[in-house]
Chain A
Amino acid sequence: MALSDQELKEIAYLARINIKEDSFSSLKKELEQILELFEELNEADTSEVAAMSHPLDLSQPTRKDEVTEENQREELLKNAPSVQSGLFLVPKVIEGEV
């Protein structure tokens, strides 16, 4: 399956990875190889097989609806590079373009 430059750029944008124009051809080649592997998987007939979302044959355990975590703001804010008035500060977000 051949990828176009535009598709490559969209995939990189979705993953928020900056890629340079001069690496396009090598990246495309690597991605195409991965896609080929999936094409191979697609050849297996799975029409009789139920979809499996997890390899363990167990049901998800649950917890009671209780508040167990008290305010830890001061500790947690210590991890952040920039804080103000109890808020985490991040660069202003503007919808990006490809």
Chain B
Amino acid sequence: MNENLKNWEAVIGLEIHVQLSTKSKLFSGASTSFGALPNTQACNIDLAMPGVLPVLNEEVLKMAIKLGKALNANINSPTSFARKNYFYPDSPKGYQISQMDNPIVETGYLDIETENGSKRIGVTRAHLEEDAGKSLHDDFEGQSGIDLNRAGTPLLEIVSEPEISTAEEAVAYLKSIHSIIRYLNISDGNMAEGSMRCDANVSVRKKGDTELGTRTETKNVNSFRFVEKAIQYEIERQVHELESGNKITQETRLYDSQKNTTRPMRSKEFANDYRYFPEPDLLPIILEKDFIQCILDDMPEMPNEKKERFVSQFSLSKYDADLLAADKDIANYFEEVVKISNSPKLSTNWIMGELSAELNNENLNIRDSKVSSEKLGQLILRIEDGTISGKIAKDIFEKMWVSGKEVDIIIKDEGLEQVTDNKEIESMIDEVIANNPEQLEQYRSGKDRLFGFFVGQVMKASQGKANPKQVNDILKSKLEK
């Protein structure tokens, strides 16, 4: 079935729910912290007790405005809330307060980087809404248990235009949104804990067709890798169905990460009808110009801006700058290292190489790195100023990782200073040449490749401490004699 895929193209739109990292809920003063005992963070308003009224959390407006700015979008004023009506036990009101007309953020875009270059993806809207509670379907004597701690937690739903064409692009878009919300400090973006959730609308059509195919919606895929796999599976499934002469049913599907398939959720007899209407308990919100300006003045540097600054300030390649800037914590760590090491390129290599390897090994975030940015900066500084060779530095790094000691202490304790004294190197070279007359003969009669052999012998004699450049230079002049 794979060879037929090239005749088809996919049309993908993503709906991303981002849990905003406020202290209290969207419309109540109950806490939003994760992992509390059931129903200990749910108050009268979250339970929809008679007579209660929602009171809007000002912080969510600020967070949404920041996101809107980062997505190059319009901020609507007035913006208003609407009721989305449906019955489910984890939503005690019988409706969700959401936004329909005049969402707070509308008509923006995001530029993503893919293997084929840069691509602009339109963002239709981002609106505020409240999260639902949780239904627990373990057996409570045939009943379901309801935990309303999450009910009323603020969400921003970010809806893309159907302008994404591949699973790779979808992941690049998702990662870009993830990076932005972390930079803005409006959500922790933790997909495993559900702070960022992604639904994918996918349809396929024959290349060149202008009409859209029937789409399916794949729900709640909880990692970047699964989003890519779920979309790829769904594209191939739809192509296979259509090539077999079948039709695609418009439906909601669930991704099964263990089997790497999607399967339909129980389909309803007729489409949902949410009967949206303006929320009578909340007035429209007028966002004053001063209020918006105050928030915009306070915007942090965004990933794309940081990337460009890294390229111009540190002469990094676009690729390196992109890798570093994608994660705020890595970017900050990098800048701290460079401040000390004064070597952007070497710092990048160490962070992306040795440091990342150790962090991955122990499944650590860079914030919890056992080698601080200051210590790594000093290590790189010692390579730069010629105290140690790059090879010795790798051994020292291993020791720093385990012991937490500073580079200068390890160098002193273990006598690892690089040998840069010309005379000392010369005498080592003389000894190596004297001990290998046969190789010397061969080299002088034209076997250039043996140069590497001599370098190796000298480095070995110096226990890796001789300065490689000096070894090269002196060795060359001695061998040519």
Contact = CB atoms under 8 A, between A and B. Distances in A.
A98 B272 CA distance: 12
B137 A92 contact: yes
A94 to B, nearest CB: 9
Nearest to A54: B283
B286 interface: yes
B289 to A, nearest CB: 13
A61 B89 contact: no
Given A85-B38, A95-B266, A62 B55 contact: yes
Contacts of B284: 53-54, 59-60
The majority secondary structure among interface residues of chain A is loop
B25 to A, nearest CB: 9
Chain B: interface residue count, which band? Answer: 35 or more
Interface residues of A, number: 39
Point out which of A56, A58, A71 has the most chain B C-beta atoms below 10 A from its C-beta.
A71
B147 interface: yes
A16 B29 CA distance: 31
A67 B30 contact: yes
A51, A53, A73 — which one has the most chain B CB atoms within 10 A of its CB? A53
A88 B148 contact: yes
Contacts of B78: 59
Given A56-B283, A59-B285, A90 B30 contact: no
Nearest to A6: B270
Nearest to B148: A88
B296 interface: no
B31 interface: yes
Interface in B270-306: 270, 273, 275, 278-280, 282-286
B285 A60 contact: yes
Nearest to B27: A63
Contacts of B8: none
Contacts of B146: 87-90
Interface of B: 22-24, 28-31, 37-44, 47, 49, 55-59, 61, 78, 80, 85, 87-89, 101, 135-137, 140, 142-148, 266, 268-270, 273, 275, 278-280, 282-286
The 5 lowest CB-CB distance pairs between A and B, nearest first, are A68-B29, A87-B145, A53-B278, A65-B59, A62-B58
8 contacts: A53-B278, A53-B284, A60-B282, A60-B284, A62-B61, A85-B145, A89-B140, A95-B268
Interface of A: 10, 14, 16, 51, 53-54, 56, 58-69, 71-73, 76-77, 79, 82, 84-93, 95, 97-98
